[in-house]
Amino acid sequence: MTPDERTRRYAELTVRVGANVQPEQDVVVMCLIEHAEIARAVTREAYRAGARHVIVLYSDLHLRRAAIELGPEEELGWSPPYLLDWMSRWPDERPALIALTGNPDPDLLADLDPGLVGRADPREIRVLMGSAIAARRFNWSIVSAPNAGWATQIFGEPDVERLWGAVATATRLDEPDPVEAWRAHTERLQARADALEAHGFDAVRFRGPGTDLTVGLLRSSRWMCATFETETGIEHIPNLPTEEVFTTPDWRRTEGFVRSTLPLVTAGTRVSDLVVRFEGGKIVDVSATAGADIIREQLAVDAQAGYLGEIALVDGSSAVKRTGLIFCDTLFDENATCHIAYGRGIPTTLGLDGDQSTDELLERGVNVSAIHTDFMVGGPEVDVDGRDAAGNTTPIIRNDVWQLS
């Protein structure tokens, strides 16, 4: 397969399987200018799929740096009204949305005042998009765009070809028929979610070296996986790759301690050998051989930051795990093995559209926070069990192999 053909097939997978672009639908692609190769290919495949208009919104992190460094401080975080106006019509216009990740320069803002960097985030746009996504208005997908800067972060050199190989493995692009491979894969994940639902566990327990953690579940929260559906019935896969079956746990009921089994890269910082301890749902102790400060900073963002918002189960058959790489990109790394996330929960797993008040969500057991950080807790040495309300346990994962049916 030539590089051009590989890019084309990747874009086709993104458009047909990921976002599932419909005939005569408009498509909006959100990416950085460094993602142009994939954005162009996605545009072509979207037109081939019958899109009416394809609009690529190119961003540039260097412009954000300029605004932070040199622009008026009181304007930081400003969302351009022309974009806000347009995006506020999206829930009615219902374009397909495709976002590209793969940070070409993760250190770009590292030397700036973190307070200003935080304020430079266009909050109004983020809130607008978040609630429209939670209300299932869009068929959307996030995929990655291999680029030199991202490759350098992983390999220490701009080996884009090697990165492409890993991305192709993780996204099943190297299968003879990627579309069929994804059909079979999502069916397999759905069977796992169905089995978890059928058992109706009250809690999940992780046990392994340095780990004995029990995460309390919510009766009202479903186990979800790869395929989402818009309120108008368009199926789509929000993340390529995706290997997880996940739900929102009860933020009040996590107890014990857990050792992270893979390095974590968050906010551009590598965190190694993270160990955290929970009491009454909350992280009360953090240690790490590197990067503990960034974790403590995140946990201090707001009062609910230290409670869990997500639990996700992944076994050793993960295509991301097979690459053996840390991608320094959550889209990939969270799919390498089981993970949990402190911070914001996912109202969608309770069938909620996210418009509920903070109090109502917390009352229902869904955590609410400005942050959401995933870290990996699974692997060959970690047993995962389900426990029902009566205290009976059932194996879910043993030796990194899925057991539950």
Residues found near a copy of itself in the complex (CB under 8 A): 33, 36, 39-40, 43-44, 47-48, 51-56, 58, 60, 62-63, 66-67, 69-72, 75, 78, 80-83, 85-86
Nearer to a copy of itself, 95 or 106 (CB): 95
Nearer to a copy of itself, 41 or 311 (CB): 41
| Nearest-angstrom CA–CA distance, 173 and 27 | 22
CB of 146 to a copy of itself, least distance (A): 17
CB of 58 to a copy of itself, least distance (A): 4
CB of 63 to a copy of itself, least distance (A): 5
| Nearest-angstrom CA–CA distance, 196 and 249 | 13
CB of 79 to a copy of itself, least distance (A): 10
CB of 270 to a copy of itself, least distance (A): 27
Nearer to a copy of itself, 27 or 267 (CB): 27
CB of 61 to a copy of itself, least distance (A): 10
| Nearest-angstrom CA–CA distance, 302 and 371 | 9
CB of 1 to a copy of itself, least distance (A): 21
CB of 115 to a copy of itself, least distance (A): 19
Nearer to a copy of itself, 33 or 148 (CB): 33
Nearer to a copy of itself, 18 or 122 (CB): 122
Nearer to a copy of itself, 74 or 359 (CB): 74
Give the phi and the psi of residue 361 in degrees, each rounded to 5. -65, -45
Looking up tokens 């909006």 gives 28
Nearer to a copy of itself, 78 or 155 (CB): 78
Nearer to a copy of itself, 43 or 337 (CB): 43
Rounded to 5°, angle at Cα 329 from 340 and 195? 40
CB 204 within 8 A of CB 214: yes
β-bridge mates for residue 210, sequence order:
none
Nearer to a copy of itself, 55 or 290 (CB): 55
Nearer to a copy of itself, 51 or 294 (CB): 51
Give whole-number Cα distances, 400 to 47, 151, 214, 331, 360, in Å.
41, 28, 18, 20, 37
CB of 169 to a copy of itself, least distance (A): 28
Question: How many other CB atoms are found less than 10 A from the CB of residue 32?
Answer: 21
Which token pair is 395?
A: 């194996």
CB of 129 to a copy of itself, least distance (A): 15
